[in-house]
Amino acid sequence: MNARVPANVLDASAALTHATRAWDDDIVRQLTDYIAIPAKSPSFDPDWAQHGYLDTVLRNAAAWVEAQKVPGLQLEIVRLEGRTPVLFFEIPASGTTAKQTVLMYGHLDKQPEFNGWRSGLGPWTPKYEDGKLYGRGGADDGYAVYASIAAVQALKAQNAPHPRIVGLIETCEESGSHDLLPYVDALRARLGDVALVVCLDSGAGNYDQLWLTTSLRGMASGVLKVEILTEGVHSGDASGLVPSSFRIMRQVLDRLEDSATGRLLPASFHCEVPAERLAQAQATAAILGDEIYKRFPWAHYDCGGAVQTALPTTTDPVQALLNRTWMPTLSVTGAEGFPELRNAGNVLRPYTAFKLSLRLPPLVDASAAVQELKALLEDNAPYQARVTFQGEGGATGWNAPATAPWFENALNAASQAHFGAPCGYIGQGGTIPLMNMLSAGFPTAQMMVCGVLGPRSNAHGPNEFLHVPYAKKLTAAVAQVIAAFPAA
């Protein structure tokens, strides 16, 4: 048996070797099987319980965790009536007097298929190519439970002291984690005094260093529907007299958004960017430069023999970072009431419905935003059309707590050891509802929010991939940060 290493010391090279072996020998294969299962989140599969896919991926993950034989690990699948299940595990502290707990979080539910996958790829047809594992959900966020256990095994392999560790893996994150809070309440006593959260559901500015997420936007979503007729009518007969439901929709949305700039008009949907976050955005902009916006799959087109590329809202790197992390933005993510083009006759349609996704700055309350959104869109409808907004809930964003010295040192040491560069700090435009819940419940906990969703990984879209070489280093870096957890 290996001799116990001194407290807060971990051989980084050995940890990476151990993590690499775990990924090459087992985890890539486990995730390949996982990707093939269409375990869509409840919002996208209302019959999830009957289909059984969420149960399958949760059971598979649980069986794998138990098979790793981590000393002292206890695991169970917890089920509350009418809610998606969660996986919960506990690992006792080893070789330390630390009384607090590390919480490792991930999720196994997935976004829907989407279209546009390139030839040979698909959401449920995993493919490993050039170090990238393609398919829906591997990077967001099926790998988290596997990487978490691999990080613990890297600690155990060196007999490195570590605090008590618990894991919470949910199956409702892509639906806003509406099932999670009851589980947090039910498991609160078993969670313990959480002092460090390791959340592997976020992104990376590049694949060249460790990235810590410092903020997450919130989200308010729902369906806006405009009805003007009870049935479709001949467009030649009625147009000019019956207003188009699409034109009314545009007028209603103009109350919310300046269509020329994309700026949201209600002042309450905005907040001031904290000085620390602005300074971090400036530092990160200096690292990433124009890759901040060039990393997206912009459309190219021929304009008089010259190839042109669609443009972003800004080419200033600092403003680009702030736009996607601290500015509210509106996206229309779905539509109803439109026939397919091949079936589109000369008919004035009776209604238009849009699925709205409103990203909110980290410090804006989502529940209040949903209520304001409903009043703003429904009141005083043009032409007395029937305008309804059916809210689908909201999730308030998150701004990270102040970074403790030990945590900042551990992050930089891990990044230098595995990437040869200091840790980067970046806000993310997405939403992880758990983080706001945990910050409220454990206000002094440090938050290691990171992930593998780097440039072109395209979570939620076509050709989503997991960057395996980065995931290996991230796994080892997590082990190194946990090893640096201060003793009591």
Task: State whether 401 and 343 are in the same domain.
Answer: no
Locate 320 and state its tokens.
């680009």
**CATH code of residue 200:** 3.40.630.10
CB 348 within 8 A of CB 231: no
The residue-averaged pLDDT of 252-277 equals 97
Last residue of a domain, one of 366, 394, 422: 394
Task: State whether 283 and 211 are in the same domain.
Answer: no
CB 100 within 8 A of CB 31: no
Helix (H) or strand (E) holding 134: strand 132-134
Task: State whether 195 and 239 are in the same domain.
Answer: no
Task: State whether 171 and 31 are in the same domain.
Answer: yes
The single-letter code of the amino acid at 364 is: V
* pLDDT confidence of residue 306: 85
Last residue of a domain, one of 350, 365, 394: 394
| Percent of all residues in the chain with a pLDDT value above 90, rounded to a whole number | 92
Residue 7 within any structural domain of the chain? no
Backbone angles phi, psi at 150, to 5 degrees: -65, -35
The residue-averaged pLDDT of 423-442 equals 90
Residue 199 within any structural domain of the chain? yes
Residue 425: strand pairing partners: 212
pLDDT band at 8 (very low <50, low <70, confident <90, very high): low
| Percent of all residues in the chain with a pLDDT value above 70, rounded to a whole number | 98
Residue 130 within any structural domain of the chain? yes
Residue 173 within any structural domain of the chain? yes
The answer to whether residue 47 scores a pLDDT higher than 80 is yes
Cite the beta strand spans of 172-299 per DSSP E.
194-199, 211-216, 218-227, 233-234
pLDDT in tens, 211-239: 999 999 999 999 999 999 999 999 999 99
Cα distance between residue 406 and residue 43, in whole Å: 40
Three-point CA angle 472, 473, 474, nearest 5°: 90
Residue 256 within any structural domain of the chain? yes
Task: State whether 224 and 258 are in the same domain.
Answer: yes
Residue 223 within any structural domain of the chain? yes
* pLDDT confidence of residue 59: 98
Which of the two residues, 5 and 458, has the higher pLDDT score?
458
Task: State whether 209 and 232 are in the same domain.
Answer: no
Backbone angles phi, psi at 93, to 5 degrees: -60, 155
pLDDT in tens, 99-127: 999 999 999 999 999 999 999 999 999 99
Residue 3 within any structural domain of the chain? no
CB 457 within 8 A of CB 464: yes
Cα 477 → chain centroid: 20
Last residue of a domain, one of 394, 420, 442: 394
The answer to whether residue 343 scores a pLDDT higher than 70 is yes
* pLDDT confidence of residue 305: 77
Locate 224 and state its tokens.
């806006």
* pLDDT confidence of residue 393: 81
Task: State whether 169 and 256 are in the same domain.
Answer: no
Residues spanned by the domain of 163: 12-216+397-483
Task: State whether 185 and 258 are in the same domain.
Answer: no
pLDDT in tens, 127-151: 999 999 999 999 999 999 999 999 9
Whole-structure pTM value: 0.90
pLDDT in tens, 67-90: 999 999 999 999 999 999 999 999
Give the chain's domain count: 2
Task: State whether 319 and 380 are in the same domain.
Answer: yes
The answer to whether residue 478 scores a pLDDT higher than 70 is yes
**CATH code of residue 349:** 3.30.70.360
Q: Give me Rg for the CA atoms of the chain.
A: 24
Task: State whether 386 and 403 are in the same domain.
Answer: no
Task: State whether 239 and 304 are in the same domain.
Answer: yes
Cite the beta strand spans of 162-227 per DSSP E.
164-170, 194-199, 211-216, 218-227
Residue 1 within any structural domain of the chain? no
pLDDT in tens, 377-394: 999 999 999 999 999 888
Task: State whether 86 and 189 are in the same domain.
Answer: yes
The answer to whether residue 4 scores a pLDDT higher than 60 is no
